[in-house]
Amino acid sequence: MHTKTISELAAALRAGEFSSEELTRAYLERIQLLDPKINSYITVAEEQALAMARAADARFATGEVMPLTGIPIAQKDIFCTEGVKTTCGSRMLDNFVAPYNATTVERFNADGAVLLGKTNMDEFAMGSSNETSFYGPVHNPWNTDTVPGGSSGGAAACIAARLAPAATGTDTGGSIRQPAALCGITGLKPTYGRVSRYGMIAFASSLDQAGPMTRTAEDAAIMLNTMAGFDTRDSTSVERDVPDYSASLNDSIEGLKIGLPKEYFGEGLDAEVGRQVEAAIKEFEGLGATVQAISLPNTHLAVPTYYVVAPAECSSNLSRFDGARFGYRCDKPVDLEDMYKRSRGEGFGAEVKRRIMIGTYALSAGYYDAYYLKAQRIRQLISDDFRQAFDKVDVIMGPTSPDVAFGIGEKADDPITMYLSDIYTIACNLAGLPGMSIPAGFARDLPVGLQMIGNYFDEARLLNVAHRFQQATDWHSRAPEAFK
Protein backbone atom coordinates (compact mmCIF):
# COMPACT_ATOMS: atom_id res chain seq x y z
CA MET A 1 0.00 0.00 0.00
CA HIS A 2 2.80 2.44 0.83
CA THR A 3 4.05 2.36 -2.77
CA LYS A 4 0.84 3.89 -4.14
CA THR A 5 0.24 7.57 -4.86
CA ILE A 6 -2.75 9.50 -3.49
CA SER A 7 -4.70 9.01 -6.71
CA GLU A 8 -3.98 5.26 -6.64
CA LEU A 9 -4.90 4.97 -2.95
CA ALA A 10 -8.14 6.88 -3.49
CA ALA A 11 -9.13 4.52 -6.32
CA ALA A 12 -8.30 1.48 -4.18
CA LEU A 13 -10.32 2.81 -1.24
CA ARG A 14 -13.33 3.47 -3.48
CA ALA A 15 -13.01 -0.05 -4.94
CA GLY A 16 -12.93 -1.56 -1.44
CA GLU A 17 -9.50 -3.17 -1.89
CA PHE A 18 -8.71 -2.14 1.69
CA SER A 19 -10.18 0.17 4.31
CA SER A 20 -8.81 3.50 5.48
CA GLU A 21 -8.15 1.92 8.88
CA GLU A 22 -6.06 -0.84 7.28
CA LEU A 23 -4.17 1.74 5.23
CA THR A 24 -3.57 3.97 8.23
CA ARG A 25 -2.33 1.05 10.35
CA ALA A 26 0.11 0.12 7.57
CA TYR A 27 1.59 3.61 7.60
CA LEU A 28 1.71 3.79 11.40
CA GLU A 29 3.63 0.49 11.45
CA ARG A 30 6.11 1.80 8.87
CA ILE A 31 6.60 4.99 10.87
CA GLN A 32 7.28 3.01 14.05
CA LEU A 33 9.74 0.74 12.23
CA LEU A 34 11.56 3.18 9.97
CA ASP A 35 11.24 6.73 11.26
CA PRO A 36 13.96 6.30 13.93
CA LYS A 37 16.41 6.20 11.00
CA ILE A 38 15.41 9.64 9.71
CA ASN A 39 13.56 11.47 12.54
CA SER A 40 10.95 12.94 10.20
CA TYR A 41 8.10 13.10 12.74
CA ILE A 42 7.91 15.11 15.97
CA THR A 43 4.50 13.73 16.95
CA VAL A 44 2.73 10.60 15.71
CA ALA A 45 -1.01 10.94 16.36
CA GLU A 46 -1.80 7.22 16.43
CA GLU A 47 -5.09 7.27 18.35
CA GLN A 48 -6.43 10.28 16.49
CA ALA A 49 -5.35 8.80 13.12
CA LEU A 50 -7.20 5.54 13.73
CA ALA A 51 -10.33 7.39 14.87
CA MET A 52 -10.24 9.57 11.75
CA ALA A 53 -9.72 6.48 9.57
CA ARG A 54 -12.78 4.79 11.08
CA ALA A 55 -14.80 7.94 10.45
CA ALA A 56 -13.59 7.94 6.84
CA ASP A 57 -14.64 4.32 6.42
CA ALA A 58 -18.09 5.29 7.67
CA ARG A 59 -18.22 7.98 4.98
CA PHE A 60 -17.40 5.40 2.31
CA ALA A 61 -20.36 3.38 3.52
CA THR A 62 -22.66 6.34 2.86
CA GLY A 63 -21.00 7.40 -0.39
CA GLU A 64 -20.26 10.92 0.90
CA VAL A 65 -16.59 10.97 -0.06
CA MET A 66 -14.08 13.48 -1.39
CA PRO A 67 -10.82 12.74 -3.27
CA LEU A 68 -8.85 12.80 0.01
CA THR A 69 -11.34 10.87 2.16
CA GLY A 70 -9.49 8.12 4.02
CA ILE A 71 -6.05 9.20 2.76
CA PRO A 72 -3.38 9.45 5.49
CA ILE A 73 -1.32 12.67 5.36
CA ALA A 74 1.17 14.44 7.60
CA GLN A 75 1.06 18.08 8.67
CA LYS A 76 4.17 20.20 9.10
CA ASP A 77 4.45 21.05 12.80
CA ILE A 78 3.86 24.74 12.07
CA PHE A 79 0.08 24.31 11.62
CA CYS A 80 -2.02 24.61 14.76
CA THR A 81 -3.82 21.29 15.24
CA GLU A 82 -6.48 21.07 17.92
CA GLY A 83 -5.58 18.65 20.69
CA VAL A 84 -2.15 17.83 19.18
CA LYS A 85 1.18 19.29 20.24
CA THR A 86 2.26 22.05 17.84
CA THR A 87 5.91 22.95 18.40
CA CYS A 88 7.35 24.69 15.34
CA GLY A 89 10.44 22.55 16.04
CA SER A 90 11.26 24.72 19.07
CA ARG A 91 11.76 24.27 22.78
CA MET A 92 9.72 27.46 23.10
CA LEU A 93 6.56 25.53 22.10
CA ASP A 94 7.47 22.06 23.34
CA ASN A 95 4.51 22.11 25.77
CA PHE A 96 2.00 23.87 23.49
CA VAL A 97 -1.16 21.97 22.51
CA ALA A 98 -3.14 24.04 20.04
CA PRO A 99 -6.72 24.87 21.11
CA TYR A 100 -7.91 25.27 17.49
CA ASN A 101 -7.19 24.14 13.93
CA ALA A 102 -5.41 26.11 11.25
CA THR A 103 -7.58 26.65 8.16
CA THR A 104 -5.40 24.20 6.22
CA VAL A 105 -5.93 21.50 8.86
CA GLU A 106 -9.66 22.30 8.97
CA ARG A 107 -10.00 21.81 5.22
CA PHE A 108 -8.26 18.45 5.20
CA ASN A 109 -10.39 17.32 8.14
CA ALA A 110 -13.57 18.40 6.33
CA ASP A 111 -12.56 16.30 3.31
CA GLY A 112 -12.01 13.24 5.51
CA ALA A 113 -8.22 13.03 5.30
CA VAL A 114 -6.44 11.17 8.11
CA LEU A 115 -3.76 12.92 10.21
CA LEU A 116 -0.78 10.62 10.75
CA GLY A 117 1.19 13.18 12.76
CA LYS A 118 3.27 16.36 12.74
CA THR A 119 6.55 16.50 10.84
CA ASN A 120 9.92 17.76 12.02
CA MET A 121 11.15 21.14 10.79
CA ASP A 122 13.79 23.79 11.27
CA GLU A 123 12.96 25.83 14.35
CA PHE A 124 10.25 28.36 13.48
CA ALA A 125 10.94 27.49 9.82
CA MET A 126 14.36 29.16 9.97
CA GLY A 127 16.88 27.02 8.15
CA SER A 128 17.77 25.25 4.92
CA SER A 129 18.81 21.87 6.27
CA ASN A 130 16.43 20.80 9.08
CA GLU A 131 19.33 20.87 11.53
CA THR A 132 18.00 23.69 13.74
CA SER A 133 15.10 21.68 15.18
CA PHE A 134 14.98 21.28 18.97
CA TYR A 135 14.09 17.62 18.27
CA GLY A 136 17.27 16.89 16.36
CA PRO A 137 18.13 16.89 12.67
CA VAL A 138 16.15 15.06 10.02
CA HIS A 139 18.16 12.64 7.86
CA ASN A 140 17.75 12.34 4.10
CA PRO A 141 16.39 8.86 3.22
CA TRP A 142 18.61 8.71 0.11
CA ASN A 143 21.72 8.97 2.31
CA THR A 144 21.14 9.30 6.03
CA ASP A 145 24.46 11.12 6.47
CA THR A 146 23.05 14.04 4.48
CA VAL A 147 20.41 16.69 5.17
CA PRO A 148 16.91 16.63 3.65
CA GLY A 149 16.83 20.39 3.18
CA GLY A 150 14.66 22.76 5.12
CA SER A 151 12.65 24.03 6.69
CA SER A 152 10.07 21.44 5.55
CA GLY A 153 12.68 18.67 5.69
CA GLY A 154 10.59 16.35 7.84
CA ALA A 155 7.71 16.49 5.36
CA ALA A 156 10.01 15.85 2.38
CA ALA A 157 11.86 13.01 4.12
CA CYS A 158 8.72 11.20 5.28
CA ILE A 159 7.29 11.22 1.75
CA ALA A 160 10.57 10.06 0.18
CA ALA A 161 10.77 7.25 2.77
CA ARG A 162 7.14 6.28 2.05
CA LEU A 163 6.09 7.11 5.62
CA ALA A 164 3.21 9.24 4.26
CA PRO A 165 1.81 9.60 0.77
CA ALA A 166 1.71 13.40 1.14
CA ALA A 167 2.31 16.22 3.60
CA THR A 168 1.86 19.95 3.97
CA GLY A 169 4.82 22.30 3.93
CA THR A 170 5.47 26.02 4.17
CA ASP A 171 7.74 28.10 1.98
CA THR A 172 9.22 31.44 3.09
CA GLY A 173 12.35 31.42 0.93
CA GLY A 174 12.30 27.96 -0.64
CA SER A 175 11.31 25.75 2.28
CA ILE A 176 8.96 23.55 0.22
CA ARG A 177 10.95 23.50 -3.03
CA GLN A 178 14.50 23.02 -1.72
CA PRO A 179 13.74 19.98 0.50
CA ALA A 180 11.55 18.57 -2.30
CA ALA A 181 14.58 18.78 -4.61
CA LEU A 182 17.00 17.26 -2.10
CA CYS A 183 14.64 14.37 -1.29
CA GLY A 184 13.43 13.65 -4.82
CA ILE A 185 9.74 14.55 -4.39
CA THR A 186 7.31 17.11 -5.83
CA GLY A 187 6.71 20.36 -3.93
CA LEU A 188 4.56 23.36 -4.82
CA LYS A 189 4.67 26.86 -3.33
CA PRO A 190 1.44 28.60 -4.44
CA THR A 191 1.01 32.29 -5.18
CA TYR A 192 1.11 34.39 -2.02
CA GLY A 193 -2.47 34.61 -0.74
CA ARG A 194 -3.71 31.49 -2.56
CA VAL A 195 -3.69 29.33 0.61
CA SER A 196 -4.81 30.65 3.99
CA ARG A 197 -2.16 31.45 6.58
CA TYR A 198 -4.65 31.41 9.48
CA GLY A 199 -3.32 29.13 12.21
CA MET A 200 0.06 28.77 10.51
CA ILE A 201 2.60 30.06 13.03
CA ALA A 202 4.23 33.08 11.40
CA PHE A 203 7.90 33.50 10.54
CA ALA A 204 7.85 36.31 7.92
CA SER A 205 4.27 37.34 7.23
CA SER A 206 4.78 38.86 3.77
CA LEU A 207 6.66 35.77 2.53
CA ASP A 208 5.22 32.65 4.24
CA GLN A 209 2.99 30.45 2.09
CA ALA A 210 1.65 26.93 2.66
CA GLY A 211 1.63 24.32 -0.07
CA PRO A 212 1.49 20.59 -0.87
CA MET A 213 4.39 18.14 -0.84
CA THR A 214 3.73 14.89 -2.68
CA ARG A 215 5.32 12.29 -4.92
CA THR A 216 3.62 13.46 -8.11
CA ALA A 217 2.15 16.58 -9.71
CA GLU A 218 -1.20 14.78 -9.96
CA ASP A 219 -1.22 14.31 -6.18
CA ALA A 220 -0.17 17.94 -5.64
CA ALA A 221 -3.19 19.04 -7.69
CA ILE A 222 -5.49 16.93 -5.49
CA MET A 223 -3.96 18.44 -2.34
CA LEU A 224 -4.13 22.00 -3.66
CA ASN A 225 -7.80 21.58 -4.54
CA THR A 226 -8.39 21.16 -0.81
CA MET A 227 -5.90 23.76 0.44
CA ALA A 228 -6.61 26.71 -1.88
CA GLY A 229 -9.31 29.30 -1.38
CA PHE A 230 -10.26 32.55 0.29
CA ASP A 231 -10.38 32.76 4.09
CA THR A 232 -11.99 35.71 5.87
CA ARG A 233 -9.81 35.01 8.92
CA ASP A 234 -6.59 35.71 6.96
CA SER A 235 -6.10 39.34 5.93
CA THR A 236 -3.52 38.28 3.31
CA SER A 237 -5.87 35.75 1.67
CA VAL A 238 -6.90 36.65 -1.90
CA GLU A 239 -10.59 36.49 -2.82
CA ARG A 240 -10.35 34.75 -6.18
CA ASP A 241 -12.04 31.73 -7.75
CA VAL A 242 -10.20 28.42 -7.34
CA PRO A 243 -9.98 26.27 -10.48
CA ASP A 244 -10.04 22.49 -10.45
CA TYR A 245 -6.30 21.91 -10.58
CA SER A 246 -6.79 18.30 -11.71
CA ALA A 247 -8.86 19.23 -14.75
CA SER A 248 -6.01 20.52 -16.94
CA LEU A 249 -3.27 18.08 -15.96
CA ASN A 250 -3.32 16.26 -19.31
CA ASP A 251 -3.48 19.33 -21.55
CA SER A 252 -0.86 19.50 -24.30
CA ILE A 253 2.19 21.68 -23.66
CA GLU A 254 2.86 22.08 -27.39
CA GLY A 255 4.10 25.64 -27.92
CA LEU A 256 4.85 26.28 -24.23
CA LYS A 257 7.45 29.05 -23.97
CA ILE A 258 10.12 28.26 -21.37
CA GLY A 259 12.49 30.96 -20.14
CA LEU A 260 15.96 30.05 -18.86
CA PRO A 261 17.47 32.85 -16.73
CA LYS A 262 21.17 33.17 -17.47
CA GLU A 263 21.66 34.08 -13.80
CA TYR A 264 20.55 30.54 -12.77
CA PHE A 265 23.16 28.71 -14.83
CA GLY A 266 26.39 30.47 -13.94
CA GLU A 267 28.97 30.36 -11.18
CA GLY A 268 27.95 28.41 -8.09
CA LEU A 269 25.89 25.75 -9.87
CA ASP A 270 27.29 22.24 -9.51
CA ALA A 271 28.23 20.90 -12.95
CA GLU A 272 26.41 17.57 -12.55
CA VAL A 273 23.28 19.27 -11.27
CA GLY A 274 23.43 21.64 -14.24
CA ARG A 275 23.66 18.74 -16.69
CA GLN A 276 20.63 17.00 -15.16
CA VAL A 277 18.57 20.20 -15.31
CA GLU A 278 19.56 20.77 -18.95
CA ALA A 279 18.59 17.18 -19.79
CA ALA A 280 15.20 17.71 -18.16
CA ILE A 281 14.62 20.84 -20.23
CA LYS A 282 15.44 18.81 -23.37
CA GLU A 283 12.56 16.53 -22.38
CA PHE A 284 10.22 19.51 -22.49
CA GLU A 285 11.48 20.42 -25.94
CA GLY A 286 10.65 16.87 -27.00
CA LEU A 287 7.10 17.47 -25.72
CA GLY A 288 6.73 20.50 -27.98
CA ALA A 289 7.92 23.35 -25.75
CA THR A 290 10.28 26.06 -26.97
CA VAL A 291 13.17 27.45 -24.95
CA GLN A 292 14.66 30.93 -24.86
CA ALA A 293 17.26 32.69 -22.76
CA ILE A 294 16.02 35.45 -20.46
CA SER A 295 17.56 37.65 -17.82
CA LEU A 296 16.49 38.39 -14.25
CA PRO A 297 19.15 41.05 -13.61
CA ASN A 298 18.43 41.64 -9.93
CA THR A 299 18.73 37.96 -8.96
CA HIS A 300 22.05 38.61 -7.21
CA LEU A 301 20.25 40.96 -4.81
CA ALA A 302 17.62 38.40 -3.75
CA VAL A 303 19.58 36.77 -0.91
CA PRO A 304 20.69 40.02 0.81
CA THR A 305 17.19 41.47 0.36
CA TYR A 306 15.57 38.39 1.85
CA TYR A 307 17.93 38.38 4.83
CA VAL A 308 16.84 41.88 5.73
CA VAL A 309 13.08 41.49 5.10
CA ALA A 310 12.61 38.02 6.65
CA PRO A 311 14.54 38.64 9.91
CA ALA A 312 12.83 42.02 10.34
CA GLU A 313 9.41 40.37 10.13
CA CYS A 314 10.49 37.44 12.32
CA SER A 315 11.73 39.79 15.06
CA SER A 316 8.25 41.30 15.16
CA ASN A 317 6.33 38.01 14.93
CA LEU A 318 8.38 36.19 17.57
CA SER A 319 8.08 38.96 20.15
CA ARG A 320 4.88 37.23 21.36
CA PHE A 321 6.94 34.33 22.75
CA ASP A 322 7.93 35.88 26.06
CA GLY A 323 7.14 33.21 28.67
CA ALA A 324 4.10 35.15 29.92
CA ARG A 325 1.13 33.72 28.02
CA PHE A 326 1.99 30.33 26.56
CA GLY A 327 4.98 28.21 25.68
CA TYR A 328 8.27 27.84 27.54
CA ARG A 329 8.90 29.75 30.77
CA CYS A 330 12.19 29.69 32.65
CA ASP A 331 12.38 28.31 36.19
CA LYS A 332 12.01 30.67 39.16
CA PRO A 333 12.40 34.06 37.48
CA VAL A 334 13.33 36.80 39.96
CA ASP A 335 11.30 39.50 38.19
CA LEU A 336 9.51 40.22 34.90
CA GLU A 337 12.64 41.27 33.03
CA ASP A 338 14.47 38.13 34.15
CA MET A 339 11.52 35.99 32.98
CA TYR A 340 11.53 37.61 29.53
CA LYS A 341 15.29 37.35 29.06
CA ARG A 342 15.76 33.83 30.33
CA SER A 343 12.60 32.40 28.74
CA ARG A 344 13.62 33.72 25.33
CA GLY A 345 17.29 32.92 25.83
CA GLU A 346 16.58 29.33 26.85
CA GLY A 347 13.56 28.76 24.60
CA PHE A 348 15.01 29.87 21.25
CA GLY A 349 17.85 28.17 19.41
CA ALA A 350 20.93 29.84 17.92
CA GLU A 351 19.59 30.40 14.38
CA VAL A 352 16.33 31.94 15.62
CA LYS A 353 18.25 34.25 17.97
CA ARG A 354 20.55 35.26 15.10
CA ARG A 355 17.63 36.26 12.89
CA ILE A 356 15.76 38.06 15.66
CA MET A 357 18.87 40.14 16.38
CA ILE A 358 19.45 40.95 12.69
CA GLY A 359 15.81 41.91 12.25
CA THR A 360 15.67 44.05 15.37
CA TYR A 361 18.79 45.89 14.21
CA ALA A 362 17.37 46.45 10.70
CA LEU A 363 14.17 47.92 12.15
CA SER A 364 15.84 50.10 14.79
CA ALA A 365 15.84 53.89 14.70
CA GLY A 366 18.52 55.16 12.37
CA TYR A 367 18.76 51.93 10.37
CA TYR A 368 15.19 51.40 9.13
CA ASP A 369 15.70 53.57 6.01
CA ALA A 370 19.16 52.21 5.32
CA TYR A 371 18.19 48.54 5.51
CA TYR A 372 14.50 47.60 5.65
CA LEU A 373 13.16 50.36 3.41
CA LYS A 374 15.95 49.85 0.88
CA ALA A 375 15.31 46.09 0.88
CA GLN A 376 11.63 46.68 0.11
CA ARG A 377 12.59 48.87 -2.86
CA ILE A 378 14.90 46.18 -4.21
CA ARG A 379 12.11 43.67 -3.68
CA GLN A 380 10.02 45.70 -6.11
CA LEU A 381 12.82 45.61 -8.68
CA ILE A 382 12.95 41.81 -8.38
CA SER A 383 9.18 41.62 -8.93
CA ASP A 384 9.52 43.88 -11.98
CA ASP A 385 12.16 41.51 -13.45
CA PHE A 386 9.64 38.66 -13.31
CA ARG A 387 6.82 40.76 -14.76
CA GLN A 388 8.97 41.64 -17.76
CA ALA A 389 10.03 38.02 -18.19
CA PHE A 390 6.43 36.80 -18.21
CA ASP A 391 5.67 39.18 -21.08
CA LYS A 392 7.90 36.87 -23.16
CA VAL A 393 7.56 33.37 -21.64
CA ASP A 394 4.98 31.15 -19.96
CA VAL A 395 7.17 29.37 -17.41
CA ILE A 396 10.65 30.02 -16.03
CA MET A 397 12.85 26.98 -15.37
CA GLY A 398 16.17 26.27 -13.73
CA PRO A 399 17.76 24.34 -10.87
CA THR A 400 15.98 24.35 -7.52
CA SER A 401 19.20 24.10 -5.52
CA PRO A 402 22.81 24.74 -6.60
CA ASP A 403 23.88 21.30 -5.38
CA VAL A 404 22.55 17.99 -4.10
CA ALA A 405 22.07 17.27 -0.40
CA PHE A 406 25.12 18.13 1.71
CA GLY A 407 26.40 16.35 4.80
CA ILE A 408 24.82 16.85 8.20
CA GLY A 409 26.98 19.40 10.04
CA GLU A 410 28.82 20.42 6.86
CA LYS A 411 27.44 23.98 6.80
CA ALA A 412 26.17 24.31 10.36
CA ASP A 413 28.92 26.73 11.40
CA ASP A 414 28.78 28.81 8.22
CA PRO A 415 25.39 30.58 8.04
CA ILE A 416 26.29 32.57 4.91
CA THR A 417 27.06 29.43 2.91
CA MET A 418 23.89 27.85 4.30
CA TYR A 419 21.82 30.86 3.19
CA LEU A 420 23.16 30.48 -0.38
CA SER A 421 21.42 27.07 -0.57
CA ASP A 422 18.26 29.08 -1.33
CA ILE A 423 19.79 31.34 -3.96
CA TYR A 424 17.45 30.15 -6.75
CA THR A 425 14.27 29.97 -4.68
CA ILE A 426 14.20 33.19 -2.65
CA ALA A 427 13.27 35.60 -5.46
CA CYS A 428 10.02 33.71 -6.05
CA ASN A 429 8.91 34.49 -2.48
CA LEU A 430 9.97 38.13 -2.66
CA ALA A 431 7.78 38.50 -5.76
CA GLY A 432 4.92 36.36 -4.36
CA LEU A 433 4.93 34.06 -7.41
CA PRO A 434 4.06 30.34 -7.53
CA GLY A 435 7.03 27.98 -7.77
CA MET A 436 7.44 24.24 -7.97
CA SER A 437 10.21 21.65 -7.73
CA ILE A 438 10.00 18.25 -9.41
CA PRO A 439 12.47 15.35 -9.48
CA ALA A 440 14.73 15.64 -12.53
CA GLY A 441 17.50 13.09 -12.12
CA PHE A 442 20.41 12.22 -9.87
CA ALA A 443 23.93 13.51 -9.27
CA ARG A 444 26.32 11.45 -7.16
CA ASP A 445 23.38 9.13 -6.33
CA LEU A 446 21.36 11.96 -4.78
CA PRO A 447 18.21 13.61 -6.21
CA VAL A 448 18.27 16.73 -8.37
CA GLY A 449 15.27 19.09 -8.54
CA LEU A 450 14.03 21.14 -11.48
CA GLN A 451 12.41 24.42 -10.44
CA MET A 452 9.52 25.93 -12.39
CA ILE A 453 8.20 29.44 -11.67
CA GLY A 454 4.84 30.59 -13.02
CA ASN A 455 2.98 33.86 -13.30
CA TYR A 456 0.60 34.92 -10.53
CA PHE A 457 -2.16 32.36 -9.83
CA ASP A 458 -0.86 30.14 -12.65
CA GLU A 459 -0.54 27.02 -10.49
CA ALA A 460 -2.70 25.03 -12.91
CA ARG A 461 -0.16 25.56 -15.69
CA LEU A 462 2.74 24.54 -13.44
CA LEU A 463 0.93 21.36 -12.42
CA ASN A 464 0.07 20.58 -16.06
CA VAL A 465 3.69 21.09 -17.19
CA ALA A 466 5.02 18.99 -14.29
CA HIS A 467 2.50 16.21 -14.91
CA ARG A 468 3.37 15.95 -18.61
CA PHE A 469 7.06 15.70 -17.68
CA GLN A 470 6.29 12.98 -15.14
CA GLN A 471 4.32 11.04 -17.74
CA ALA A 472 7.49 11.00 -19.88
CA THR A 473 10.01 10.24 -17.10
CA ASP A 474 10.22 8.07 -13.99
CA TRP A 475 12.39 10.15 -11.64
CA HIS A 476 9.37 10.82 -9.39
CA SER A 477 8.65 7.10 -8.94
CA ARG A 478 12.08 6.14 -7.60
CA ALA A 479 12.48 5.38 -3.91
CA PRO A 480 15.49 5.10 -1.57
CA GLU A 481 16.60 1.45 -1.40
CA ALA A 482 16.32 1.19 2.39
CA PHE A 483 12.72 2.47 2.39
CA LYS A 484 11.10 0.64 -0.54
- What is the phi/psi pair of residue 407, to 5°? -70, 145
Distance CA 458, CA 340 (A): 45
- Of 191, 195, 192, nearest in space to 231 by CA: 195
Asked if 459 and 434 touch (Cβ cutoff 8 Å), the reply is yes
| Residue type, position 447, single letter | P
- Of 149, 365, 388, nearest in space to 261 by CA: 388
**Which residues are the active-site residues?**
76, 151, 175
B/e letters for 367-376, b = 16+ CB within 10 Å, e = fewer, are eeeebbeebe
What secondary structure, in 3-state letters, does the chain show? CCCCCHHHHHHHHHHCCCCHHHHHHHHHHHHHHHHHHCCCEEEECHHHHHHHHHHHHHHHHHCCCCCCCCCEEEEECCECCCCCECCCCCHHHCCCECCCCCHHHHHHHHCCCEEEEEECCCHHHCCCCCCCCCCCCCCECCECCECCCCCCHHHHHHHHCCCCCEEEEEECCCCCHHHHHHHCCEEEECCCCCECCCCECCCCCCCCEEEEEECCHHHHHHHHHHHECCCCCCCCCCCCCCCCCCCCCCCCCCCCEEEEEHHHCCCCCCHHHHHHHHHHHHHHHHCCCEEEEECCCCHHHHHHHHHHHHHHHHHHHHHHCCCCCCCCCCCCCCCHHHHHHHHHHHHCCHHHHHHHHHHHHHHCCCCHHHHHHHHHHHHHHHHHHHHHHCCCCCEEEEECCCCCCCECCCCCCCHHHHHHHHCCCHHHHHHCCCEEEEEEEEECCEEEEEEEEECCCCHHHHHHHHHHHHHHCCHHHCCCHHHC
Asked if 204 and 375 touch (Cβ cutoff 8 Å), the reply is no
- Of 93, 68, 36, 34, nearest in space to 167 by CA: 68
Distance CA 469, CA 473 (A): 6
